[in-house]
Amino acid sequence: MSWHASVLTLFPEMFPGPLGQSLAGRALRDGRWSIDSLDIRSFATDRHRTVDDTPFGGGAGMVMRPDVLDAALAAALAAGPASDRAAPDGAAREPAAPAPRPAVYLTPRGRRLDQAMVRDFAAGPGLVLLCGRYEGIDERVIEARGLAEVSIGDYVLSGGEPAALVLLDACVRLLPGVMGAAESGIEESFSDGLLEYPHYTRPADWQGRAVPPVLLSGHHAEVARWRQAEAERITRERRPDLWAQHVANAGRDRAPSA
Ligand code: SAM
Report which of residues 71 and 258 the model is more confident about. Answer: 71
Q: Please state the atom number of ligand 1 nearest to the C-alpha of residue 137.
A: 14
Residue 152 annotated in ligand binding = yes
- CATH superfamily placement of domain 187-253: tRNA(m1g37)methyltransferase, domain 2 (1.10.1270.20)
CA distance 253 to 246: 11
pLDDT band at 86 (very low <50, low <70, confident <90, very high): very low
Tell whether residue 157 is among the known ligand binding residues: yes
Residue 93 is predicted with a pLDDT of: 54
**β strands within 101-242, DSSP E:** 103-112, 126-131, 148-151, 205-206, 209-210
| One-letter amino acid of 251 | G
pLDDT of residue 183: 47
Is the CB of 60 within 6 Å of ligand 1? no
- Cβ of 163 closer than 6 Å to ligand 1, yes or no, is yes
Ligand 1 atom nearest the C-alpha of 135 is: 1
pLDDT tops 70 at residue 140: yes
pLDDT digits (tens, 9 = 90+) for 95-115: 667 789 999 999 999 999 999
Confirm whether residue 154 is marked as ligand binding.
yes
Q: What is the CATH number of domain 3-172?
A: 3.40.1280.10
Give the E-state strand segments of the chain in sequence order.
Answer: 3-9, 33-39, 52-53, 63-64, 82-86, 93-98, 103-112, 126-131, 148-151, 205-206, 209-210
For 183, phi then psi, to 5°, come to -70, -15
| Residue 256 reports pLDDT greater than 70 | no
Nearest CA to ligand 1 atom 5: 108
CA separation for the pair 41, 213 (Å, rounded)? 60
Q: What is the pTM assigned to this prediction?
A: 0.91
Cis link prior to 100 (omega < 30° from 0)? no
* ipTM of the prediction: 0.99
156 annotated as belonging to a binding site for a ligand:
yes
For residue 31, pLDDT over 80 is answered with yes
Taking CA 157 as the corner, what is the angle to CA 22 and CA 168, rounded to the nearest 5 degrees?
A: 30
DSSP bridge pairs for 88: none
Ligand 1 atom closest to 158 (CA): 9
Split at pLDDT 50, 70, 90, the class of 85 is: very low
Per-domain residue ranges for the chain? 3-172, 187-253
- Measuring CA to CA, how many Å separate 130 from each of 12, 69, 77, 148, 256? 11, 9, 12, 10, 41
pLDDT of res. 114: 97
By DSSP bridging, strand 126-131 and strand 103-112 are parallel
Task: Reply yes or no on whether the pLDDT at 205 is more than 70.
Answer: yes
Type of residue found at 248:
A
**138's torsion region: left (phi>0), alpha (psi -120 to 50) or beta?**
beta
Residue 138 has pLDDT above 50, yes or no: yes
Find out whether the beta carbon of 59 lies less than 6 Å from any atom of ligand 1: no
Cis amide linkage into residue 203, ω under 30° from 0:
yes
Ligand 1 atom, smallest distance to 153 CA:
23
pLDDT, average across residues 206-214: 98
With a 6 Å cutoff on the Cβ, whether 153 touches ligand 1 is yes
Report how far residue 73's alpha carbon sits from residue 75's, in angstroms, rounded to the nearest whole number.
Answer: 5
**Same topology between domain 3-172 and domain 187-253:** no
- Has 141 been labeled as part of a binding site? no
Instruction: Evaluate: CB of 155 within 6 angstroms of ligand 1.
Output: yes
DSSP per-residue letters across 14-70: GSSGGGGSHHHHHHHHTTSEEEEEEEGGGG--STT---EEPPTT--SS-EE-HHHHH
Cα 107 to middle of ligand 1, angstroms:
5
Task: Give the pLDDT of residue 180.
Answer: 83
| Residue 127 contacts residue 104 (beta carbons within 8 Å) | yes
The string of pLDDT tens digits covering residues 167-179 is 999 999 999 999 9
Give residue 251's pLDDT: 83
User: Residue 94: pLDDT above 60?
Assistant: no
Q: Which residues contact 140 (CB under 8 A, 6 or more apart)?
A: 66
